[in-house]
């Protein structure tokens, strides 16, 4: 059987690329330079399978340039808001993602941000490196402990639930807002309180963790008005997608003392970060590390390959989203 032409837009882990080359006619991106629109259009004009990542914008214009042979966009990542899945479906092109394999990695980064913010770890590290540490004293760099603190989770899917389990182990009290309630047994196990009204929940939380997908409905979910509902002593964590927060509004809220701090792993105009968020002692910024474990990235690759294998075999795609 002829191997399908698979074009990969970015460099992937070595083991994943080795499997792709072994099983398919794979064209890899050894230089790891993001494709511009012209290069992407040339790729979809010849590929039978495109493997993009979160850095690639596969909009309707790219889909329109696809040749009739393109039948699968196997996304390397769980979020697919960078792909116009409806336009792809209209052209008979399936879109798949990689759910389930980066849950732990993403939740770990969420906890990293919570701990770094509340215990002022990054602030302390920078101060020490600048020669500002002159010895321990009883009032030195105090911050809030986590035990007993209410945590509000926005989006109680796999990652939100993993965040809840980790936070509960630290003694936090779990609250959540979701489109619908989770199963009763999960609520009992986590001792979690469901809030159907996000605006009612926010003023009661000490820490808010965003774990919801990026959709037209969640864009700027955290607007200036919604940020104003949070406690002045509360912290906002985002490991989901950057456009869920209005970054300009967040910067203004922090400048005005309306929040105690923010921890971000994703950004509204990534890789650009709002300049007023950079260099603040009450903000911890990470360079999109949510899935950056060996296990998660290899698992994502395995999911991509499984979807391409199903495509070749003519069987149901295990992770189709459109």
Catalytic residues: 241, 270, 288
Query: Phi/psi of residue 229, each to 5°?
Result: -80, -15
């Amino acid at each position: 059987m002829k191997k399908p032409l698979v074009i990969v837009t970015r460099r992937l882990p070595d083991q994943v690329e080795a499997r792709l080359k072994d099983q398919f006619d794979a064209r890899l991106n050894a230089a790891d330079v993001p494709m511009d629109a012209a290069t992407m259009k040339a790729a979809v004009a010849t590929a039978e399978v495109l493997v993009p990542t979160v850095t690639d914008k596969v909009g309707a214009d790219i889909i329109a340039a696809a040749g009739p042979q393109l039948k699968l966009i196997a996304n390397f990542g769980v979020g697919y808001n960078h792909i116009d899945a409806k336009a792809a479906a209209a052209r008979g092109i399936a879109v798949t993602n990689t759910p389930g394999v980066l849950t732990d990695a993403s939740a770990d980064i969420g906890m990293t941000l919570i701990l770094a913010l509340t215990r002022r770890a990054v602030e302390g590290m920078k101060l020490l490196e600048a020669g500002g540490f002159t010895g321990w004293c009883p009032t030195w760099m105090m911050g809030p402990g986590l035990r007993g603190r209410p945590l509000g989770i926005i989006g109680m899917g796999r990652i939100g639930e993993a965040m809840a389990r980790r936070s509960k182990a630290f003694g936090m009290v779990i609250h959540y807002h979701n489109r619908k309630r989770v199963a009763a047994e999960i609520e009992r196990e986590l001792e979690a309180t469901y809030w159907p009204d996000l605006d009612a929940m926010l003023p009661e939380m000490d820490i808010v963790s965003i774990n919801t997908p990026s959709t037209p409905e969640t864009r700027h979910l955290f607007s200036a008005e919604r940020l104003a509902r949070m406690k002045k002593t509360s912290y906002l964590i985002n490991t989901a997608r950057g456009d869920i927060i209005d970054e300009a509004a967040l910067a203004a809220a922090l400048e005005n003392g309306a929040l105690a701090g923010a921890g971000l792993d994703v950004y509204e105009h990534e890789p650009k970060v709002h300049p007023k968020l950079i260099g603040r002692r009450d903000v911890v910024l990470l360079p999109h590390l949510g899935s950056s474990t060996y296990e998660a990235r290899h698992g994502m690759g395995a999911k991509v390959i499984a979807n391409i294998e199903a495509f070749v075999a003519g069987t149901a795609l295990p992770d189709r989203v459109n």
